[in-house]
Amino acid sequence: MKRSKGQASTLRQDLLSWLGSKRVESTASYVQQGRRFASLSDQVLVESWKAAFCAMANGFSAEVQRKEDDLSSELGLRGLELPYDDSVKEAIELFTSKVGAHHERLRNDPEAYQSASEAVEREFQAFKAKRDRSN
């Protein structure tokens, strides 16, 4: 079924709102846990984020993901952009490649793909319901 332009625009807005909400929740969690990177200088913070992003691209783990999330939150709290520059270009390409390969593995396993799709859909619908209740 093809979406109308208005439906596509609404879906895009909903998805962007959902992603923004996840970022806010992550930052709130980081602040509640005491802002462990607050004492870093901006330069050290940027370099630490680059190292964490490269580590995440080279070998994903919950610990590495949490560190990258926390460093991203600290950058955001300071009003600094994530430093996606040439120094992390190779890591971005590696990370993108790994995500693509994972997606392809899921697509080749219809049961796993369905399960993952349903999980994302449940989370997205829960976000929309919560958002709509607060309006």
Q: What percent of the chain has pLDDT over 70?
A: 93
27 found inside a domain: no
Alpha-carbon span 90 to 68, nearest angstrom: 17
15 found inside a domain: no
pLDDT value for 4: 56
pLDDT value for 7: 60
pLDDT value for 5: 57
pLDDT value for 16: 86
10 found inside a domain: no
14 found inside a domain: no
Q: Which distant-in-sequence residues (6+ apart) come within 8 Å of 42 by Cβ? A: 78, 80
Mark the ranges of the chain whose per-residue pLDDT is less than 50: 1
pTM, whole model, 2 decimals?
0.76
Q: What is the DSSP letter of 88?
A: G
41 found inside a domain: yes
Structural domain of 98: 35-134
122 found inside a domain: yes
pLDDT value for 62: 92
76 found inside a domain: yes
30 found inside a domain: no
pLDDT value for 92: 92
How many structural domains is the chain composed of?
1
